[in-house]
A = this chain, B = another copy of it.
């Protein structure tokens, strides 16, 4: 593993307070690997052998049941995924695949649990991370149950706008097909939602979105910090 990767991982909230030798031991047991796009990484139901860290690229977490399929989250650098299954030593509840060429770090679950048991700072960090993940899913749930499709799309754009530091033009970080699934709708309806929002402060151009009237956009999609704010 390259030193630059090492430093990036070391600076993640999850690892930054670990005892140095514990961290080294964990890294030694782990290995980084490069994957092409559209590769299946894990399948729901399988035992949680590894904790994953996305170093570069993009990973989709999804689930399928009886012919239907839906994305539950998209993980971008630098974050971990399937921490809960690793901690509980339980089967994965979601499948994962790359949606772009990606560099991932795989940490054997047993080593993670061992570090958890012997390093209080790491234990603390894991609890905070888990609580954050939990609150993230609760927010997704509220997004789905309390909003219409157009409101979900509008609020997604508002968040992009915020993340960009209120740039005039923002770009979708992945394909519309994936975005539609995350937002709980079909690609066709996502297209129509983008179309409808063009009379409410945005201008679409492929994957590029110009925000022409933020106030109008907010008026139609009614953002709510207890759903949208990633910090709260």
Contacts of A28 in B (CB 8 A): none
Query: Is there a chain B Cβ closer than 8 Å to A63's Cβ?
Result: yes
CA distance A224 to B64 in the complex (A): 10
Residues of chain B lying within 8 A (CB to CB) of residue A224: 65-66
Main secondary structure of the interface of A (DSSP, over half): helix
Q: How many residues of A contact B (CB 8 A)?
A: 49
Q: A215 an interface residue at 8 Å Cβ cutoff?
A: no
Residues of chain B within 8 A (CB-CB) of A72 are 138, 141-142, 145
- Docked Cα-Cα span, A90 to B132, in Å, equals 10
A226 contacts the other chain (CB 8 A): yes
A134, B137: Cβ atoms closer than 8 Å: yes
Interface residues in A150-191 by Cβ distance below 8 A to B read 184
Please indicate the chain B residues that have their CB under 8 angstroms from the CB of A93 in the complex: 135, 138-139, 142, 226, 232
- Tell me if A120 is interfacial: C-beta within 8 Å of chain B: yes
In the assembled complex, the Cα of A204 lies from the Cα of B133 at a distance in Å of 39
- A63 is contacted by which of B69, B117, B142 (Cβ under 8 Å)? B142
A130 in the interface (beta carbon within 8 A): yes
Name the B residues within 8 Å of A83 (CB-CB): 131
Docked pose: A131 CA to B45 CA in angstroms: 16
- Tell whether A193 is near chain B: CB-to-CB under 8 Å: no
Once A66-B224, A184-B145, A222-B66 are accepted as A-B contacts, the answer to whether A84 and B131 lie under 8 Å apart by CB is yes
- The 16 listed contacts between A and B (C-beta, < 8 Å) are A45-B226, A66-B222, A70-B145, A70-B146, A72-B141, A72-B142, A84-B135, A90-B135, A94-B138, A117-B124, A123-B123, A123-B124, A126-B127, A127-B127, A130-B131, A134-B137
Given contact pairs A84-B134, A117-B124, enumerate 5 new A-B contacts (beta carbons under 8 Å).
A70-B142, A72-B141, A88-B128, A123-B124, A134-B134
